[in-house]
Structure 1
Amino acid sequence: MHVRSFQLADYRPVTSLLETVLSEDCYELTMKAFGRQLSWDSELVLVAEEEDKVIGMIIGTIDNNRGYYYRVAVDPDYRKQGVGKELTRLLRQRFEQRNVTKIMVTADEHNEQILPFYESIGYASNDFFRSFQKLSIVAG
């Protein structure tokens, strides 16, 4: 597995992955945030690939010196193989390189079920930014 920054050629495979793993409402919300983040700072959108196939992605953002994991998605055929863990680890490195003061996990009604994953890699409930309204990501 190789993890790297998002590239324009990844757009179709990433959107296909998101369509596969997210609900319709979550997909629409995520695509809006995805577009905003790409226009602000594409280095905080990472893609995992295996043999030239996109198998996972993560969207992060920075706001007021805080890094946020916004959405992580992994192809169902590659789950439980460390893809999500590696994506979050490498995004954390990028946050740390930018001297963020705290890293948070964005928790909304669409990703409550993934919070145990974040707990399993060391995040606690006080690291969850709970947003049950429409999320508006602000560039930092």
Structure 2
Amino acid sequence: MKIRSYQTQDESAVIALWDACGLIRPWNDPRRDIARKLTEQPELFLVGTENERLVATAMAGFDGHRGWVYYLAVDPDFRRLSYGKALMLEVERLLTARGCPKVNLLVRNSNKQVIEFYRGLGYVQDEAVSLGRRLIPDLPAP
């Protein structure tokens, strides 16, 4: 797998991948999520390709205090090839180069398989509660 930064022509393939991986939720318009990411640290939005086919993504950011990772996805046909691990290692490398001391990510409690994937990479559950408040409603774009 080759890892590179997201390019605008990747949008449809990225959204199809996220849909195939069950990452899209009605309250998060993926086109808006992509557009927002492209305004901040777009070089930290990574895609993985295999023979020019987009097969993986990871969206990362660093706020000066912590790094965050969202939308780690690997095409179901390409799982168990260490593509997710490769993307996470590249995200960690890029964040470390920025001076990021710690990376955080969110996984739904019900997603046991993904929790085990991250544990295998050395991630541990923090003793914290994630709270959120929507500031801008995300309705599907027309």
TM-score normalized by structure 2?
0.80
Mark the runs of 5 or more structure 2 residues left unpaired by the alignment.
136-142
Q: Which residue number corresponds to residue 101 of structure 2?
A: 101
Query: Runs of 4 or more off by more than 2 Å in structure 1?
Result: 27-30, 32-35, 106-113, 128-136
Larger Cα-atom Rg: 2
Structure 1 unaligned residues grouped into runs of 5+:
none
**Residue type of the partner of 1:51?**
N
Indicate the SS of the match to 1:87.
helix
User: 2: distance between equivalents of 1:130 and 1:80?
Assistant: 31
The residue type equivalent to 2:117 in the other structure is: F
CA contact (8 A) 2:23 2:71 kept: no
Question: What CA deviation, in whole Å up to 9, does each residue of 1:90-132 have, x standing for no partner?
Answer: 0111101100121112234685651211101111112x87536
Aligned to 2:84: 84
In terms of fraction of residues, the more helix-rich structure is 1
Question: Separation in 1 of the partners of 2:87 and 2:64?
Answer: 22
Q: Does 1:22 align with 2:15?
A: no
Aligned partners of 1:73 and 1:93: how far apart in 2? 18
Report the secondary structure of 2:28's partner residue: helix
Please report the RMSD computed on the Cα atoms of aligned residues, expressed in angstroms: 2.5
Partner amino acid, structure 1, of 2:77:
D
Match of 1:6 in 2: 6
Q: For residues 11-44 of structure 1, what are the alpha-carbon distances to aligned partners after superposition, in whole Å with 9 as ceiling and x for unaligned?
A: 111111112212552x752724333222111111
Sequence identity (%): 27
For these two proteins, the number of residue pairs brought into alignment is 134
In structure 2, what residue type is equivalent to 1:60? A
Asked if the contact 1:106/1:130 (under 8 Å) is kept, the reply is no
State the alpha-carbon separation in 2 of the partners of residues 106 and 113 from structure 1.
14
Query: Which residue in the other structure is 1:42 paired with?
Result: 42
Q: Is the 8 A contact 1:108 1:131 kept in 2?
A: no
For the Cα contact (< 8 Å) 1:6–1:46, is it kept in 2? Answer: yes
Higher relative strand content: 1
Post-superposition offset of 1:8: 1.1
Task: Specify whether residues 134 and 85 from structure 1 end up closer, same or farther in structure 2 by C-alpha distance, changes over 3 A only.
Answer: farther
